[in-house]
Amino acid sequence: MLFRSAIGIAASATQSAISAVSSAVSDGIKIITDYTKSLQTAEVAFKGMMGSADGAKQHLTELSEFAAKTPFQFTDVIEASRTLQGYGFAAADVIPTLTALGNIAGGNADRFNRLTYAYSEVFEKQRLMSQDLRQFESAGVPILQTLATAYGTTATAVKKMVEEGRIGFPHVKWALEELSKTRFADQLIEQSKTLEGQISNLKDRVGILGNKMFDPIAKAMAEAIGEVNASLSGHDIEKWAEQAGRRSEEHTSELQSLRHLVCRLLLEKKK
């Protein structure tokens, strides 16, 4: 009896281990395929934005390394870069900007995205507006106090300057860089050391390594699927499909006639 119980426990443990390994492999494959798809899509987008295929690849390499060392996922970093460049930032300024915003966001992806958008809005208008100020404040950025200290005045006075349009982008850039180097210094590094940060880094590393192996396969699959799509969109295949549809309709009509005939015969037999 004891022996059977031991065998049952061992079998259950083995099954659990197999399930865990299978789940881990499945998750790993999903991480790699998702990473590869994001990379290929972003490469096309950045090529259009930057006007250079080589420049796009180099930028994506920088973004992937940044993501692998921070709590942010690769997709978050790609989206942030697209936002910044869409508003006119140079690709060379993206990583330093993301580092400063990431530190101030404390490694939180939601705050990071909100700050990226708010900062881009200020850059586009080249001045800090009241709605932009509210976005920074709602994200927990003490930008008013930082500017007040720099100007040697009060937060109320700085807020009045904002309303009058007297706070330009260079002032905001300085304030955020100052906060990133002082109050929020090394937040990305510290957050990366947490369990959540380490898991995020692991996913990015798996994605990077897996992409190096899977990318050629993915490109070959895309080409093959493209050929199938092209063959299915030709005039001949459409004509064949129409003919098949008409034949199917004729057969359906014949089957309905046969069904009616059988029903009529059965009714006559009952009589």
- Residue by residue, pLDDT tens for the chain (271 residues) are 545 555 555 445 455 444 444 444 455 566 666 767 777 788 888 898 889 999 999 999 999 899 989 999 888 999 999 999 999 999 999 999 999 999 999 999 999 999 999 999 999 999 999 999 999 999 999 999 999 999 999 999 999 999 999 999 999 999 999 999 999 999 998 988 888 878 877 776 766 666 666 666 656 665 666 666 666 665 566 666 566 666 666 656 666 665 666 566 566 655 5
| Residue indicated by tokens 């990473």 | 35
Residue 112: strand, helix, or coil: helix
Return d(Cα 130, Cα 127) in angstroms, integer. 10
Report which DSSP code applies to 90.
-
Residue 168: strand, helix, or coil: strand
Task: Identify the burial level of 71 via C-beta atoms within 10 angstroms of its C-beta, where 0-12 means exposed, 13-18 middle and 19 or more buried.
Answer: buried
| C-alpha R_g of the chain | 30
What contacts 200, CB < 8 A, 6 or more positions away? 70, 71, 72, 73, 192
